[in-house]
Amino acid sequence: MSARRLERSALAEPSATATPAELVRAVCGAHAQVLSAAELSVGLRATALTRKDVRAALWDERSLVKTHGPRGTVHLLPTADLPLWIGALSTIPQQATPFPEHVRLTDEQTEQVVEAIGTVLADAELTIDELSEAVVEATGTWSGDLVMPAFQVMWPRWRQAVTLASHRGVLCFGPNRGRKVTYTNPHRFLTRFEPVDGPAAQAWLLERYLHAYGPATPQHFAQWLSAPRGWATDLFGALEARGRLDRVDVEGGAPAWVNAGDTVFPEGTPSGVRLLPYFDAYVVAAQPRDRLYQGRAAQRALSPSGQAGNYPVLLVDGAVAGVWHQRRSGARLAVTVEPLVPLDAARRAALDEQVERVATVLEGRPELTIGTVTAGPHA
């Protein structure tokens, strides 16, 4: 199972020909809350790409778009697939809002805010403060009430609708203006853009997920999306009834699903050493976690709640076998790797190669230390 996932995630053998958009499609989106981590996720899956290539795909070629994807978190997605992603994400049932009633937007207010966001960004790239002023002007002072707790400050009420606006296809990220993030409307560079019908888009998304990370269960798929388990179970059942999914028995006899006919697995066990950055798609999407994070790895590299991705990880033979951290100072890239398993000569040589590749992607000069990682997890 791990060998197949590594192969399909371009981790078994980095690609010599795939474009950044093709690699992002293969992993079902690259987590980009930390953009340098997304650049590294993409670059490590290729033999020659660097962060410049990823940035060119994002800001110049527009073959990638930075927007809110699975779980409402910031991702890079292939621009060509955006109508499918939006068709799926905008029609998946939403989890209950965590905010008390006096903070929440009503359904009517939500629609007003989403419409205003799409309108004011239709021909502009705005910082969050500029966007806030424009939304409040278009909707009313109620949307600017500072009632939404976030990161030790209070945000205006309208910001509850940002993820929904992304999922509706009227908001994405624009290029930074200095150190400030900007937002724009993807319709500016995606002409004749219409979301795909919800059921068809949801089926497409499930089949893409299963191709990359199957065999998997409805619970795995729901966790990856932060979607209701009941909805995921119904979607699996509907596609299985139509002959589009096959049920298989994985190691240990637990039932799981793959796309119809996609039952061939590579022979042999996975091998190789990889350094994966924060929230890499492989460690976030691949399940079950107890097979990927075994023994000490679960204690060292998962959050107390079991969340994956908060630490960059050392991958050995397809399983998490350590954590690592990199700190940049000018061109110098100080890399500290904390292995949780012994590294023989071959694995140590492979690790050295990975550190060199990390530095090439990030355009730095590497210095490797084997020792304890003292940096805490990413929030």
pLDDT in tens, 35-70: 999 999 999 999 999 999 999 999 999 999 999 999
Q: CB within 8 A of 29, min separation 6: which ones?
A: 69, 70, 75, 76, 77, 85, 281
Phi and psi at 239, nearest 5°, equal -75, -35
Domains and CATH numbers, the chain: 103-194 (1.10.10), 198-259 (1.10.10.10), 273-370 (no CATH)
Q: Going residue by residue through the chain, which has 379 residues, state the pLDDT in tens, using 9 for 90 and above.
A: 789 999 999 999 999 999 999 999 999 999 999 999 999 999 999 999 999 999 999 999 999 999 999 999 999 999 999 999 999 999 999 887 888 999 999 999 999 999 999 999 999 999 999 999 999 999 999 999 999 988 889 999 999 999 999 999 999 999 999 999 999 999 998 877 899 999 999 999 999 999 999 999 999 999 999 999 999 999 999 999 999 999 998 876 789 999 999 998 888 888 899 999 999 999 999 999 988 999 999 999 999 888 999 999 999 999 999 999 999 999 999 999 999 999 999 999 999 999 999 999 999 999 999 999 999 998 6
Question: DSSP for 363-378?
Answer: T-EEEEEES-------
The overall pTM is greater than 0.85: yes
Distance from C-alpha of 64 to C-alpha of 22, rounded to nearest angstrom: 10
Tokens of 180: 């400030």
